[in-house]
Amino acid sequence: MVEVTVTPRSSLADRPVRVQVRGLSPSQLVTLRAWLTDEQGERFQARAFFRADGAGEVDPGRHAAAGGSYAGVWPMGLLWSLQPDTLFRRLVKRDVAGSPFLVHLEVFDGPQLVTAPQDRPLASCEAERWYVGPGVQRVPVREGRVRGALYLPP
């Protein structure tokens, strides 16, 4: 049974996570895809092609991506290479304290440049990427022409 995991499942956006796929056949070629939908409903996604090792595992932190959105060994490659489906869109988080970005991770058999709605992943999981830690207080700042926010730790 194929399984894809993210450790930790919930983390701050600037913290590294570990993505692992287990249960593949040795040397199986797979596509690992990450995607999220921003607050405006725009989809951002990245994909990378991997060949499973002798134990049937893929770990972007140890195994090189053979292509896709990036190439080489990049533990966080699927997250930093997220691109919008619509050109000239930027990934911006407005509600930083209220909700996380939900990042969906999926593994598909073979190389997939495009994912059609009928394509079913071998395995999938979700990860939460928060922008503000628990207990952090946000204080709006408005002084003259200065606008911003002050974030105070608990």
Considering only CA atoms, which of 132, 68, 139 is closest in space to residue 96?
A: 132
The domains of the chain, with CATH numbers, are: 3-152 (2.60.40.2240)
| Cα separation, 108 vs 93, whole angstroms | 28
Q: Answer whether 0.75 is exceeded by the pTM.
A: yes
Paired tokens of 92:
């911006």
What was the pLDDT predicted at 102?
97
- Buried b or exposed e, range 81-93, using 16+ CB within 10 angstroms: bbeeeeeeeeeeb
What was the pLDDT predicted at 67?
96
Interval 110-128 mean pLDDT: 92
Paired tokens of 33:
């895809």
Residue position matching structure tokens 């009928």: 118
Q: Examine the pLDDT at 118 and tell me if it is beyond 90.
A: no
| Cα separation, 5 vs 125, whole angstroms | 6
- Buried b or exposed e, range 23-38, using 16+ CB within 10 angstroms: bbeeebebbbbbbbeb
pLDDT band at 21 (very low <50, low <70, confident <90, very high): very high
